[in-house]
Amino acid sequence: MMGDDGTMLARLRGFIEEDVGTGDVTSMIVEDKRAEAEIICKEHAVIAGLEEATIIFSLVNCRAESMLSDGSTVEPYTVIMHVHGNARGILAVERTALNLLMRMSGIATCTRRYVEMVRKVNPNVRIASTRKTAPGLMLLDKKAVAIGGGYMHRLGLYDMVLIKDNHIALVGSAGRAVRLAREVHGSRYRVEVEVRSLEEAIEAIESGADMIMLDNLAVDEARYIVGELKARGLREKVMVEVSGGIGEDNVLEYAKLDIDMISIGRITHSVKAVDMSLEIRRVD
């Protein structure tokens, strides 16, 4: 699991408690028997979340057996997991396990699609996630991105400096923002600056930024800035990320540029869950 195992275990337990509450009143009609179930993926997908689903079932004393590993690509109606245990326990956590599997697999599938698209035109460009994740699910959303072949970028506000337009508005300029970040943190954190013009890009680089983000710029604008940075001998001094308004319709145009990373918020904030179901197959 990503992050501290104890923290994630508590979080998964909390997901169950949120749904079960004072008890699964419907499953009280079910006899206290052992059962076997299958989890079926009903569409083409990259699977993610098997580790978390296994833990969720274990928390109600059920045993889950994965038929494949996270990151595997499956065809429609593939059995991805067998579950054994008390029937009431299986039913109590069925939806929690499925919700995580469906969301994480949706993120991994979407990420993999973008990765494979850009690889055809520029194998050096990484597809990255943003902080546009669901509250409480950030680590799992980011893990799903990694399973899909993407780059998690920063996990939160604590692991790198990312100076955005509001920071610049508050301190006065991109250059001053970078210098202040260096005064506060030294070289402890990587410093990235969101820029929207060649002038801002140059100022950020000359002030010591490690990375610049060309934010919400058209392809031609981004191409112009990158070209000017190369001409001035500044391109090799920083990593270059592009972000904002990028989707399947235009990602290849950005990928053709001399850049290092494309961050796409929609792989987490607008994810389409993969269709899955749990079916009871045997009752003892």
For 215-255, what is each residue's pLDDT tens digit?
Answer: 999 999 999 999 999 999 999 999 999 999 999 999 999 99
All residues at 6 or more sequence positions from 117 whose CB lies less than 8 Å from its CB, including other chains? 248, 251, 252, 255
pLDDT, averaged across the chain = 95
* Stretch(es) of the chain classified as CATH 3.20.20.70: 116-269
* Count of positions (residues) in the chain: 284
Please confirm, yes or no, whether 142 is among the known catalytic residues. no
- The band of 59, judged by pLDDT with boundaries at 50, 70 and 90, is very high
CATH 3.40.50.620 for domain 5-114+271-283, yes or no, is no
From-to residues of CATH 3.90.1170.20 in the chain: 5-114+271-283
pLDDT at residue 12 in the model: 96
Q: DSSP label at 151?
A: B
> 33, 42, 132, 272: which one is catalytic?
132
In this structure, are residues 261 and 118 in contact, taking their beta carbons and an 8 Å threshold? no
Kindly tell me the burial class for residue 171, based on how many C-beta atoms sit within 10 Å of its own C-beta (0-12, 13-18, 19 or more): middle
pLDDT at 62: 97
Query: 116-269 architecture in CATH?
Result: Alpha-Beta Barrel (3.20)
Question: What pLDDT shows up at residue 120?
Answer: 93
Q: Is the pTM of this model over 0.75?
A: yes
pLDDT above 70: percentage of residues in the chain: 99
